[in-house]
C-alpha cells in the first residue's frame, strides 16, 4: 500500500486502530417550544464545555507543549465557538425543529463540504479542524465521558481515517512509532505535529488501510509513503536495515548541525543553501546551513498573476531577511528566460532561448521591473544581512549599468525617506565563459562572485542540457571546465574577492575535494545535501585537497577523473 510520506523516517510497530465514534442522525423532530429552548440551551452549554475542554488541555500542558501546538489548539477554540456554525445550529433547531445533535451534524457537514471543495490545499486541509470541532461539541451533547485514554502499548503505529489536531497533540510520542491515515496531506496539522515530534507519518492511503487489524505488524516509510502490513521475514529484515541507516544518518545530521565546516587543518568553508521561499529557511537550519548562497526570486514572480508590486516583494524579502538573522542571504535578481517563463510575460519564441533574451538582459531592458525589485531588496536590507547578485553577466558594461540603476533606486528611497543598507554588497554570477575569463577586470566592479556551474558547463561545452540527444556530453568533470573554474577562483583571489558556487556541482560529493583544493570559499546547495558535503570537508585537510586537485590536473578525461575521485573517497 502506498500513500504520501508526510513526516520522514522508518518505523516498524504494531497497529493500533483509532476508531471514530460515528453519530447517526436521529431524524427526530423537536415537538414543543420548551424543547426548542432546551435543545438550544444544551447546544450553547456544549459549545462552552467543548471550548473549556481544549483550554484545559492547554493549561495542563503549558510546560511541555511547543508554541505551535498551543497556537493550533487556540485556533481549535475558535472553530468550536464559530458564530456561523452557532447561528446555523440555532436556526436549524428553531426553524427546522431538528435536535441539537442533528443540527450540529448537518451544520458541520455542510461547512466540511464547502471547504472540501475549495481550490486552496491549505483551506481543504481545514476540513479536519472543522470536523474535530463538531465532534467535540457532539461529545458534550451526548454527555459522554471523555474517551478512555488510548490503550496503545509501546511501539504502536496509529491507523486512522484521519487524526484531528487535538488527537495528534495529545498522543504520547514515547509510545507512538508512526501514524498512518486515510486522509490528510502535508499541510494538515497532524502532519505538522508528526514532523515536529519526529514521528514518521504517511497520509492519503487507500481504503485497504481500514482492513488492518489491531496488533498487525506494520512497516511505514514516512519518506516514500510505503505502508507494508504483515511483512515476510525478508522484507522485515530489509526495512530493519533501512531504519538503521536512516536513524544513523539523522543522528549524523543532528550532530553536524551546529558544527562549522572546517577542514582538519583549519580552513573554514562557508556552507550555504539554495532556497526559493521563506519556509525553506527552516529546512536550511535543520541541515546546518550557515546562510543563503542563492535565493531564486523566480518563484515569487511565478506565484503572482502579474509582476509583483514593490510592497509584495519587500514583504517577501523582509521575511527571509529577518528569519535569517545575521546569516548572509544572497538574493539573485530575476532570472527568467531560457527554460523559465512567467505566465504574464511571454517571451516570443526564440531559436536558441538559452542564448537569448533572459536574466540580466531582460532586467536591463525592462528597467521598471528591475528597479521595483532592487528597491524592494534595498528596503528589506535593514532587516538582515542581504546581498544582491546579478545573473548572466557577459560583459562589464552590464554590471556598470545595473550599478547605475541601483544608485538611482537608492536616490529614490532617500527622497521617499525610506531606509536601506547603503553598504549592501553586490556580486555577480559567473556562468558565461567570457565573464569567467575576465574575473580580474570584473573584480573592480563587484564585491563577490558565485559560479553557476549548470549554465557555465553548458556554455563552455556547447551542450544544450535540455536536448536528450546531447545531454550525456554535459559533464562538470570535463578537464577544460575544471580549468575554467580554477581560473575564476585564482583570479578572484588575486583581486581579493571571495568566490562561491551555487550550481549542482557544489552538492556533488565527488567534486568536493577538487573545489576545496582550488580554494573555493563558499559552497551553496539544496539544504538536504549540506550534511554530506560538510562531513567530507570536516574529514579532510586542505593539504590533501590540493594534492587531489593537482593529481586531477594531470588526468585527460572526465572518466579518468571520476575513477580517481571515487578511489580517493573510499
The piece of 54-62, 315-323, 326-334, 545-553 that touches another protein (CB under 8 A) is: 315-323
Of 386, 383, 388, nearest in space to 322 by CA: 383
The piece of 305-313, 470-478, 484-492, 502-510 that touches another protein (CB under 8 A) is: 305-313
Q: Considering the complex, what minimum distance in angstroms separates the CB of residue 368 from another protein? A: 18
Q: Considering the complex, what minimum distance in angstroms separates the CB of residue 45 from another protein? A: 20
Chosen residue from 13, 308, 328, 427 binding another protein by CB under 8 A:
308
Active-site position among 189, 205, 457, 476: 189
Chosen residue from 37, 114, 121, 210 binding another protein by CB under 8 A:
114
Are 342 and 303 in contact by the 8 Å Cβ rule? The answer is no
Chosen residue from 26, 56, 60, 74 binding another protein by CB under 8 A:
74
Q: Considering the complex, what minimum distance in angstroms separates the CB of residue 127 from another protein? A: 11
C-beta closer to another protein: residue 112 or 262: 112
C-beta closer to another protein: residue 232 or 305: 305
Chosen residue from 318, 327, 379, 476 binding another protein by CB under 8 A:
318
| 312 makes contact with another protein (CB under 8 A) | yes
Q: In what order do the strands lie in the sheet with 217-221?
A: 4-7, 201-203, 176-181, 156-160, 10-18, 217-221, 226-229
Chosen residue from 85, 209, 506, 552 binding another protein by CB under 8 A:
85
Q: Considering the complex, what minimum distance in angstroms separates the CB of residue 71 from another protein? A: 5
Of 326, 460, 310, 327, nearest in space to 377 by CA: 310
Note if 205 is an active site residue. no
* Residues in contact with 302: Cβ distance below 8 Å, sequence separation at least 6, in sequence order: 342, 343
Are 140 and 46 in contact by the 8 Å Cβ rule? The answer is yes
Are 343 and 298 in contact by the 8 Å Cβ rule? The answer is no
CA separation for the pair 135, 22 (Å, rounded): 9
Burial class (CB in 10 A: 0-12, 13-18, 19+), 314: buried
Q: Considering the complex, what minimum distance in angstroms separates the CB of residue 567 from another protein? A: 47
Task: Return the SS3 of 253.
Answer: helix
- Residues forming a β-bridge with 14: 156, 217
CA separation for the pair 427, 447 (Å, rounded): 5
| 79 makes contact with another protein (CB under 8 A) | yes
The piece of 8-16, 68-76, 89-97, 252-260 that touches another protein (CB under 8 A) is: 68-76
Q: Which residue has the cell 527554460?
A: 339
Are 208 and 214 in contact by the 8 Å Cβ rule? The answer is no
Cβ atoms within 10 Å, residue 412: 14
Chosen residue from 32, 83, 95, 496 binding another protein by CB under 8 A:
83
Chosen residue from 58, 123, 371, 463 binding another protein by CB under 8 A:
123
Active-site position among 90, 457, 476, 502: 502
| 58 makes contact with another protein (CB under 8 A) | no
Q: Considering the complex, what minimum distance in angstroms separates the CB of residue 124 from another protein? A: 11
For strands 498-501 and 448-451, give the pairing. parallel
Q: Considering the complex, what minimum distance in angstroms separates the CB of residue 5 from another protein? A: 22
Of 426, 486, 490, nearest in space to 453 by CA: 486
Written as nine digits, the cell of 149 is: 485514554
| 282 makes contact with another protein (CB under 8 A) | no
Q: Which DSSP string corresponds to 337-353?
A: BTTB-BTTBPPPP-S-G
| 315 makes contact with another protein (CB under 8 A) | yes
| 272 makes contact with another protein (CB under 8 A) | no
| 303 makes contact with another protein (CB under 8 A) | yes
Near another protein in 125-184, by CB under 8 A: 126, 129-130
* Residues in contact with 550: Cβ distance below 8 Å, sequence separation at least 6, in sequence order: 517
CA separation for the pair 370, 409 (Å, rounded): 10
Note if 189 is an active site residue. yes
| 111 makes contact with another protein (CB under 8 A) | yes
Q: Considering the complex, what minimum distance in angstroms separates the CB of residue 376 from another protein? A: 12
Q: How many residues sit in the footprint of another protein (CB under 8 A)?
A: 35
Chosen residue from 5, 13, 278, 293 binding another protein by CB under 8 A:
278
Are 546 and 517 in contact by the 8 Å Cβ rule? The answer is yes
Are 162 and 116 in contact by the 8 Å Cβ rule? The answer is no
C-beta closer to another protein: residue 375 or 534: 375
Chosen residue from 16, 43, 115, 370 binding another protein by CB under 8 A:
115
Task: Return the SS3 of 261.
Answer: strand
| 304 makes contact with another protein (CB under 8 A) | yes
C-beta closer to another protein: residue 32 or 83: 83
For strands 226-229 and 385-390, give the pairing. unpaired
Chosen residue from 118, 147, 210, 245 binding another protein by CB under 8 A:
118
Q: How far does the chain reach from its first CA to its final CA, in angstroms? A: 37
Active site residues: 189, 502
Using CB under 8 A, list all residues that contact another protein: 71, 74-75, 77-79, 82-85, 111, 114-115, 118-120, 122-123, 126, 129-130, 277-279, 303-304, 308-309, 311-312, 315-316, 318-319, 322
Amino acid at each position: 500500500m502506498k500513500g504520501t510520506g508526510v513526516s520522514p523516517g522508518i518505523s516498524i510497530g504494531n497497529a493500533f486502530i483509532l476508531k471514530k465514534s460515528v453519530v447517526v442522525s436521529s431524524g427526530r423532530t423537536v415537538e414543543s417550544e420548551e424543547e426548542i429552548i432546551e435543545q438550544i440551551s444544551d447546544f450553547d452549554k456544549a459549545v462552552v464545555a467543548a471550548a473549556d475542554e481544549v483550554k484545559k488541555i492547554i493549561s495542563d500542558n503549558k510546560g511541555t507543549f511547543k508554541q505551535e501546538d498551543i497556537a493550533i489548539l487556540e485556533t481549535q477554540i475558535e472553530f468550536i465557538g464559530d458564530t456561523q456554525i452557532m447561528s446555523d445550529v440555532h436556526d436549524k433547531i428553531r426553524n427546522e425543529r431538528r435536535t441539537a445533535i442533528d443540527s450540529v451534524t448537518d451544520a458541520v457537514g455542510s461547512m466540511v463540504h464547502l471547504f472540501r471543495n475549495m481550490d486552496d490545499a491549505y483551506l481543504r486541509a481545514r476540513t479536519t479542524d472543522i470536523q474535530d470541532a463538531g465532534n467535540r461539541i457532539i461529545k458534550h451533547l451526548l454527555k459522554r465521558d471523555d474517551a478512555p485514554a488510548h490503550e496503545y502499548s509501546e511501539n504502536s503505529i496509529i491507523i486512522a481515517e484521519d487524526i484531528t489536531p487535538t488527537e495528534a497533540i495529545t498522543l504520547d510520542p514515547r509510545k507512538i512509532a508512526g501514524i498512518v491515515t486515510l486522509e490528510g496531506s502535508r499541510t494538515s496539522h497532524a502532519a505538522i505535529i508528526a514532523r515536529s515530534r519526529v514521528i514518521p507519518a504517511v497520509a492519503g492511503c487507500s481504503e485497504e488501510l481500514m482492513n488492518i487489524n489491531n496488533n498487525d505488524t506494520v512497516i511505514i516509510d514516512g519518506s516514500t509513503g510505503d505502508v507494508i502490513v504483515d511483512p515476510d521475514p525478508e522484507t522485515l529484515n530489509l526495512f530493519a536495515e533501512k531504519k538503521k541507516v536512516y536513524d544513523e544518518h539523522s543522528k549524523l545530521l543532528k550532530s553536524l548541525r551546529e558544527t562549522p565546516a572546517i577542514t582538519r587543518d583549519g580552513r573554514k568553508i562557508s556552507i550555504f543553501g539554495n532556497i526559493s521561499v521563506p519556509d525553506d529557511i527552516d529546512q536550511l537550519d535543520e541541515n546546518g546551513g550557515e546562510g543563503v548562497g542563492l535565493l531564486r526570486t523566480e518563484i515569487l514572480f511565478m506565484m503572482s498573476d502579474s509582476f509583483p508590486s514593490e510592497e509584495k516583494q519587500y514583504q517577501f524579502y523582509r521575511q527571509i531577511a529577518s528569519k535569517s538573522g545575521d546569516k548572509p542571504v544572497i538574493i539573485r535578481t530575476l532570472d527568467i528566460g531560457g527554460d523559465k517563463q512567467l505566465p504574464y510575460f511571454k517571451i516570443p519564441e526564440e531559436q536558441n532561448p538559452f542564448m537569448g533574451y533572459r536574466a540580466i538582459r531582460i532586467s536591463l531592458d525592462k528597467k521598471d521591473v528591475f528597479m521595483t525589485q532592487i528597491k524592494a531588496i534595498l528596503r528589506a536590507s535593514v532587516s538582515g544581512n542581504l546581498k544582491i547578485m546579478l545573473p548572466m553577466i557577459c560583459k562589464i558594461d552590464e554590471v556598470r549599468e545595473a550599478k547605475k540603476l541601483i544608485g538611482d533606486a537608492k536616490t529614490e528611497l532617500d527622497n521617499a525617506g525610506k531606509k536601506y543598507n547603503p553598504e549592501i554588497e553586490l556580486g555577480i554570477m559567473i556562468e558565461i565563459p567570457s565573464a569567467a575569463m575576465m574575473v580580474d577586470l570584473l573584480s573592480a566592479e563587484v564585491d563577490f562572485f558565485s559560479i553557476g556551474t549548470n549554465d557555465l558547463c553548458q556554455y563552455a561545452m556547447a551542450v544544450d542540457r535540455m536536448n536528450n540527444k546531447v545531454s550525456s556530453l554535459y559533464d562538470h568533470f570535463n578537464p577544460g571546465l575544471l580549468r575554467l573554474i580554477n581560473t575564476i577562483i585564482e583570479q578572484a583571489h588575486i583581486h581579493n574577492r571571495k568566490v562561491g558556487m551555487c550550481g549542482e556541482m557544489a552538492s556533488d560529493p565527488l567534486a568536493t575535494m577538487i573545489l576545496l583544493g582550488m580554494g573555493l570559499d563558499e559552497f551553496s546547495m539544496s539544504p538536504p545535501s549540506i550534511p554530506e558535503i560538510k562531513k567530507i570537508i570536516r574529514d579532510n585537510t586542505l593539504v590533501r585537497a590540493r594534492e587531489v586537485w593537482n593529481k586531477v590536473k594531470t588526468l585527460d578525461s572526465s572518466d579518468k577523473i571520476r575513477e580517481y575521485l571515487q578511489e580517493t573517497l573510499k
